[in-house]
Structure 1
Amino acid sequence: MVRSIFERRYLFKNTLVQMCVFDYNNPIVITFSPAGYLLQEDDLDRGKNAWSYSFLKENRINVLSLNCVKSKHWFLENGLEEKLTELAKEIMIFPERIGYGVSMGAFALSNYHSVFNINKMLLITPTKPPFEIEFEFEFAKDFTGDILLIYDPFFPKDRNFALSYSSNTTHFYCYGVGHRVVETLSEIGLLKKVVLSFISGIEIYSWYYKSLKGRRGIERYYSFLLRNPTGKNSKNRNRIIRKKYILFIINNPGLLMTKWKVKLMKSARRINIKLRGNYD
């Protein structure tokens, strides 16, 4: 059993807030959930935790996690910034504040880094809201700490966002998987090592790219490259990718079935949520 000296969980409007402290002499990691990890009321009733909270808690890392509930409000709902300012005062006691966010969560960290006085950030595929916002998002250009940013440079949208960050940003690539970088790192067993190494300040570069070879063992790598995301593939290159993809499918016949099963389950969940909303 993981024992902490302090733990808190509550709902602020449509944002779940969870905090766990093991040692006030160690850093605290601040996380915001990605769009793909949206909690519903029944999730809260079952005690489901905010994105990354369980992982960090199990590794005895001080953590403050925030998660969207019911709607993808991109952590821009009314009153939230004031609440975050209150939370920030509580965590100033820690020697270091580290941000970790993916996609929508990376946007939120970039937006609120000054509120929490964050020292360094691990951002994976940061993006922007798909709607108009009332302020000009500056991609944390005023951030003076270190940023490690991981994305697929073959995916133009994410590449453009990544290049908008400040010059003190270190860029790590995860080629050929599009926006699904965090899922890919997780699938090849690399995500945990990257996150824990970053938090601990352990050097990553020497082993990161060697470990990336594992992405050749997942279906996403081939299917995404076949889309010719950069528009620069020659006919011969497309032919080579298609051949390797076919060989991959032949050698892994069960993977496509699993992929479609997961898609069907997600579709069923979305339909169930919409139907439930119509009867509320």
Structure 2
Amino acid sequence: MLKLNAEVKEIIDNVLLQYHIFDVTQPVMITFPPVCQSINNSNDNAISAPVWSFDFFAKRKLNIIAFNHIGEGNYFDSRTFVSFLENLKQAIAIFPSKVGYGASLGAFALSLHADRLGLSKALLLMPQSTYCKKTAPWDPIVINAKDSINSDMTILDGRTCKTPLTFIYDPLSLPDKLHIDRYQQKGTRLKIFGVGHRIPRTLQHLDMLSEVILQFRVGAIDNNYFYQGLKERRKLTYYFRDAYKKPTISYTNQRVLIIYWHKTKQRLHHLKFEPSKILARLLCSIKKRIC
């Protein structure tokens, strides 16, 4: 089913697949993308579209099987695609380790299919456990999402996934926390406070994303490396942006003062950028009042 030592790209129903198998004695990565990576289904050249994460692994000559969704209302749930995955499970049985990686919608897709694929483990960044509006009315992402074109949303639920999972999320982002809490297994939980639904971006800006993924591919993410590196997030422009709004009742007055203090320092540090931002906001406000 899988060709060796060749880059292969094909469309399975409404999913674009791209893979390259370099060495069957090494782990294989199975990846699913966030919703923002959707390929426009009106694009007649969908086969030529880039597939999320493929280049990252292929350039390092690491085995990669990457999937990308085509069009809206696509939750990797078509019968044709599910049947393909059931056959793929047999093909990837030869690998010593089968590792999943996905973010947001991609993490949801992994929750749905990790057991079906027989994965050894999976790394989920800020996963949605469900996209059912009745199940998760507390998540704006779910509420604003288009329903599946293939399935009843009530039956698409990743919470029962039995594959060993590692979660990376912001516990102060209440929707993300509630999704994590829905999973029946506790899994390994790595927490990044104060960045919201921006986990991949945060790790990328801290120059940590590549290392975190590569560590997970061959073993476990080093806790000391992870949390030491996160100390630098105070230098990010969006850190503390929303933290002072007290998204959870766990904030003490002392913690709020600390947040205000660091937010003020961050603003002063980036003062040279503030005038243009203030002017842009002012012009936008004036335009709204005139219209």
The alignment's TM-score, normalised by the length of structure 2, stands at 0.78
Partner of 2:197 in structure 1? Answer: 179
Structure 1 gaps, min length 5: 261-280
In 2, the alpha carbon distance for the partners of 1:171 and 1:252 equals 32
Secondary structure (helix, strand or coil) at the match of 2:238 reads helix
Report whether the alignment pairs 1:51 with 2:69. Answer: no
Could you tell me how far 1:245 is from its partner in structure 2? 2.0
Could you tell me how far 1:123 is from its partner in structure 2? 0.8
Change (3 A) 1:198 1:89: same
Could you tell me how far 1:23 is from its partner in structure 2? 0.3
CA contact (8 A) 2:69 2:75 kept: yes
In 2, the alpha carbon distance for the partners of 1:97 and 1:167 equals 19
Change (3 A) 1:217 1:101: same
Could you tell me how far 1:95 is from its partner in structure 2? 1.9
Could you tell me how far 1:80 is from its partner in structure 2? 1.8
Aligned residue type for 2:63:
N
Change (3 A) 1:71 1:203: closer
Change (3 A) 1:158 1:202: closer
TM-superposition CA deviations, 1:230-279 (whole Å, max 9, x none)? 1444566445433432331232246679999xxxxxxxxxxxxxxxxxxx
TM-superposition CA deviations, 1:170-229 (whole Å, max 9, x none)? 111011111111111111111111100010115511221111111111122111212321
Partner of 2:157 in structure 1? Answer: 137
Q: Of the two, which has the highest radius of gyration?
A: 2
Could you tell me how far 1:67 is from its partner in structure 2? 0.6
Change (3 A) 1:256 1:102: farther
The alignment's TM-score, normalised by the length of structure 1, stands at 0.81
Change (3 A) 1:237 1:114: closer
In 2, the alpha carbon distance for the partners of 1:117 and 1:29 equals 12
Identity of aligned residues (%): 27
**Which residues in structure 2 correspond to 1:80-159 (within 5 Å)?**
80-127=81-128, 128-129=130-131, 130=142, 131=147, 133-135=153-155, 137-141=157-161, 143=162, 145-159=163-177
Could you tell me how far 1:39 is from its partner in structure 2? 2.2
Partner of 1:222 in structure 2? Answer: 240
- Paired residues, number: 255
Deviates more, 1:227-236 or 1:87-96: 227-236
